[in-house]
Structure 1
């Protein structure tokens, strides 16, 4: 399945989850009613019990969903995760950060926040959040110590498939809903623990109610495990397949799974309650469950899908070998030559280079990074000066780096932009941005701007909300400082604002689109007209033909005249929300139309490719860091 099919499947999974949740709630209410009717024989008491049960489940779910509004970082912190420091010198953590950054840039999404579960010796990981803007990836200390770079890359690529395909928001909603249906069991446990000292008939009645709650709560736990197993198993197979598609090799992912099967710690987590709640989000099983309630497919079957000739008896041999000498990931890196790569990336393509890209190829690369995209991402990151990379990663300097990307080359305009920045964020930040623009970003290649912004994103979203609000206002003022806004300048600033807003309030922006193409005709026409004009500057006839080709692809029965908006790129403010609400199949056609509009002659320039990437990112259809002319 491609990205759009995966998104549609995740949306269907969300609807299926609601139906399963409703069925589970009905089963619990029926069990409670039966118990109340058996002990009291009163219809009134039965009705009251139904209302109370529904209230407990509903309030429990609402409470848990509210506690997860902070997104991926909140889940990682609740699991005991420790944030990876910006200036870490731990070689395992630096390796993790490098792998995650390269995968993120190759995927076209912001770099997620990183956490380590320091007390967990098992090999495991999870991705959490409502979307790419608030994503967090957590790995266990066991994974860092036992996996080599290829294996760690396979695990990270597996987790990124959950980030890209909409699984994360499904998983985090699943946590909230399942907490509600397990509430009765939790209440019964607390009463039994703290109510044992009760005497008399009231105390006995309380303990009897607790016992009933425990028994009925067991039904909730059963339904919860059944729902998790039903929702997550197939998504895990798809995530494994996506990871292999990305890395173009199976040994990394298969090697990680073999180490789970061959090491005593496996993938188990120490904290049973946490493992129960987040089991469906993990890379491997967090606790032992019967096969038909397990949240993951059998380990041997996952390996066999990657290596068809795999014999499960191999795990016994590995277990015997590793019992005496457990694997050391960093030592394996050194032996296999998988350590830090030589800092001499090949030259980037000339700014006027042309790539042969067709609309289906463009849509086919959305959220489908391949091995060459990983290499490109590595080269883009390594091609940035090391000092600039570190400035982007640090909380204190991320804002100046991002502001410097938008400073104009014209000194007079840059002075006005500096004034706008200083008035909102302070003279020190404005001076830093100007200095960075003059000394570090003057010759920055167009394809490096978005990767640099992606590196800065984790540090940026850790700033206090008032500072972020002031910074976003400053970005808006800088872009409109002279009333002349280029398409890329507008899109880059808009992308920054959208991603920050989504990170500040992730639950509010989490949704699966359902809009059909005919409902957004005017928005289609505006976006295609602006991109056709940008892709063919000074060539109005060519731009018109490109516009009509794109329109024919997305709305073949409509005849909307080519009319570039008088306000130019600023007319796009009205199109993003309606177009982002499109259903996945309609978005796929839209992306193909955008490729047509930007490159009607089948040739795509580097600057145009970056413009297309930025627009697609605003529509939550991430493209690789450097579009290639191979499918």
Structure 2
């Protein structure tokens, strides 16, 4: 199943989640309503009174669940980092020099670039000695990846890579959004337990020794609160039961799929299988001791605690290993447990024994041309392979370490991004420098000009990866600083009176990523548009790309026709050169990003057909393709 098929599957699973939640809420409401009627001794009353009590109880219960779920969901609008911090996570600095943390960040950066998504925030749970990890967030733009200290201590680089690749599959496939929604829903149905305990406490304090003689008092034993409290605790237990069933039904099969994706990505089973064996062979296993583990159990790499098979959020450990290594004997876990009881594994020492070392810097690769086929590119969307990972490692190795260091540093990332967008023409660059002086002052303007000089020799294939590396540092800036930088970026690209495709795409990508990270879209309803209703926007996109990549009007017409043949089989469309050039794209993103998966798949194929209409795609064209796909939320790995 490709990316677009998985997106459709996630949409169906979201609908299934809502249905399960509604069924659980109905069961809880019925339980509470019956208890309220009993507590007030109303069974002998007229039907109107009984119905009135039931409706009131149902309304209050439903409202409580709804408000609690809404409150919890809103509290998570900060994105994946919010979840990590709640579990005791500590943010790993972008420019860390700690060997353990640098290894972790290197693995995350390489996999992010290989996947075509922004580099997520990285957290460590320093108090957790079990081997575990999770990815959280509303979208790849506000995602966070967290690993336990036990993972850093016990896993070698191959195993850590396998675990991180597993988590990235959740990032790419949209599982994170489903997971974070599930946290909010579970909080709502578990909230009644808290209310019930409070009612019990208040009821006993208020009613202790008070033997009222009223008619209601005689029927309810003088105080209905304890009985209602007991009922709500019972309803809360129903919620716990339902919640765990929901977690299990949502999570189990996806863990197998994520394991398989990690193997496809890393092209070796020893990494992720080794991590699973260490979970099985070490006494700490994948245990997470944080009290919030119950909320996030469905999103962890390994089960945070032991549960019965009915409620388990993950498949049995031995089964997961056996899928990866069919010859695996579960008795091996006992042997490993005995071995590691004497000498626990040390991930960094294993790295030394395995000969891992940072990649050596290499000369910039020439800008090759590669033949592409639209349907092949579509299968690569959100489906990185081992070649993608190797390509990402090579790209990072080719970027000077000093440049990477400035991209990772919040103090220097602003001038670097501005320098990346400055024009090659000296007169245009001088105009941009004057604009930056007016916007940000002499110091920043001079720093950006210096960066432009240093980055002048950067190969086209390195520009987008460098921007992706810079994103976490940009996201760590204060909101006011981010807004000032965005204002400077748009002033910069307009300073010379023209906007190139690269300038537009990079600035639009930066704007979109920062806006999404500051205000994640946490709504339940996602836009659903069809290609039939968005044809005009799609044709504008194809026309802009045809115009940008063609040396003549004839070639542009040919490229446009190639895209239309894929987008609208059997139909024709007139090519009209976009009067405002690339700026015309401002009108298309909202309509095209909301296309249903099948239609978005066809649009991506049409885009590839336009860019590759001459049979080849240059590195610059490939990076343009990746940028456009990113704006459409179709992450594309680097094309080899």
Q: Could you tell me the TM-score, scaled by structure 2's length?
A: 0.94
Contact 1:367 1:621 in 2 (8 A): yes
SS of 2:455's equivalent in the other structure is coil
Contact 1:534 1:598 in 2 (8 A): no
SS of 1:138's equivalent in the other structure is strand
Cα distance change on mapping 1:195 and 1:455 into 2, 3 Å: farther
For residue 209 of structure 2, what is the aligned residue in structure 1? Answer: 200
Q: Shift of residue 208 of structure 1?
A: 2.9
For residue 520 of structure 2, what is the aligned residue in structure 1? Answer: 506
State how far apart, in whole Å, the 1-side matches of 2:599 and 2:405 are: 40
For residue 356 of structure 1, what is the aligned residue in structure 2? Answer: 371
State how far apart, in whole Å, the 1-side matches of 2:39 and 2:227 are: 10
For residue 346 of structure 2, what is the aligned residue in structure 1? Answer: 328
1:227 partnered with 2:246: yes
Determine which of 477, 483, 490 is the counterpart of 1:476: 490
State how far apart, in whole Å, the 2-side matches of 1:349 and 1:577 are: 36
State which drifts further: 297-306 or 144-153. Answer: 297-306
SS of 1:506's equivalent in the other structure is coil
For residue 45 of structure 2, what is the aligned residue in structure 1? Answer: none
Q: Shift of residue 513 of structure 1?
A: 4.8
SS of 2:521's equivalent in the other structure is helix
For residue 391 of structure 1, what is the aligned residue in structure 2? Answer: 406
Determine which of 164, 189, 197 is the counterpart of 2:197: 189
Cα distance change on mapping 1:525 and 1:64 into 2, 3 Å: same
Q: Deviations over 1:247-301 (max 9, x none)?
A: 0111100000111111111111112x31100001100101221112111111111
Determine which of 542, 557, 560 is the counterpart of 1:547: 560
Q: Shift of residue 325 of structure 1?
A: 0.9
For residue 314 of structure 1, what is the aligned residue in structure 2? Answer: 332
Contact 2:31 2:231 in 1 (8 A): no
State how far apart, in whole Å, the 1-side matches of 2:527 and 2:312 are: 30
Contact 2:36 2:228 in 1 (8 A): no
Segments of structure 1 that go 5 or more residues without pairing to the other structure are none
State how far apart, in whole Å, the 1-side matches of 2:113 and 2:170 are: 16
1:279 partnered with 2:297: yes
State which drifts further: 1-10 or 557-566. Answer: 557-566
Segments of structure 2 that go 5 or more residues without pairing to the other structure are 43-49, 212-221
Cα distance change on mapping 1:512 and 1:335 into 2, 3 Å: farther
Q: Could you tell me the TM-score, scaled by structure 1's length?
A: 0.95
Determine which of 371, 375, 380 is the counterpart of 1:365: 380
TM alignment of 1:413-428, pairs within 5 A:
413-428=428-443
For residue 320 of structure 2, what is the aligned residue in structure 1? Answer: 302
State how far apart, in whole Å, the 1-side matches of 2:239 and 2:38 are: 20
TM alignment of 1:40-439, pairs within 5 A:
40=40, 41=42, 42-192=50-200, 197-198=205-206, 199-201=208-210, 205-271=224-290, 273-338=291-356, 340-345=357-362, 347-351=363-367, 353-438=368-453
State how far apart, in whole Å, the 1-side matches of 2:401 and 2:205 are: 65
Q: Shift of residue 201 of structure 1?
A: 4.1
Contact 1:131 1:510 in 2 (8 A): no
SS of 1:343's equivalent in the other structure is coil
State how far apart, in whole Å, the 2-side matches of 1:605 and 1:354 are: 5
Q: Shift of residue 87 of structure 1?
A: 3.5
Larger radius of gyration: 2
Cα distance change on mapping 1:483 and 1:201 into 2, 3 Å: farther
1:520 partnered with 2:534: yes
For residue 14 of structure 2, what is the aligned residue in structure 1? Answer: 14
State how far apart, in whole Å, the 2-side matches of 1:8 and 1:362 are: 19
Contact 1:122 1:266 in 2 (8 A): yes
Q: Shift of residue 207 of structure 1?
A: 3.0
Q: What is the Cα-based RMSD across aligned positions, in Å?
A: 1.7
Contact 1:513 1:584 in 2 (8 A): no
SS of 1:200's equivalent in the other structure is coil
For residue 443 of structure 1, what is the aligned residue in structure 2? Answer: 457
Q: Shift of residue 423 of structure 1?
A: 2.8
Q: Shift of residue 387 of structure 1?
A: 1.1
Q: Shift of residue 186 of structure 1?
A: 2.0
State which drifts further: 188-197 or 10-19. Answer: 188-197
Q: Shift of residue 108 of structure 1?
A: 0.9
State how far apart, in whole Å, the 2-side matches of 1:509 and 1:532 are: 35
Cα distance change on mapping 1:180 and 1:509 into 2, 3 Å: closer
State how far apart, in whole Å, the 1-side matches of 2:230 and 2:496 are: 71
1:532 partnered with 2:558: no
Contact 2:136 2:145 in 1 (8 A): yes
Contact 1:518 1:555 in 2 (8 A): no
State how far apart, in whole Å, the 1-side matches of 2:396 and 2:383 are: 19
SS of 1:25's equivalent in the other structure is helix
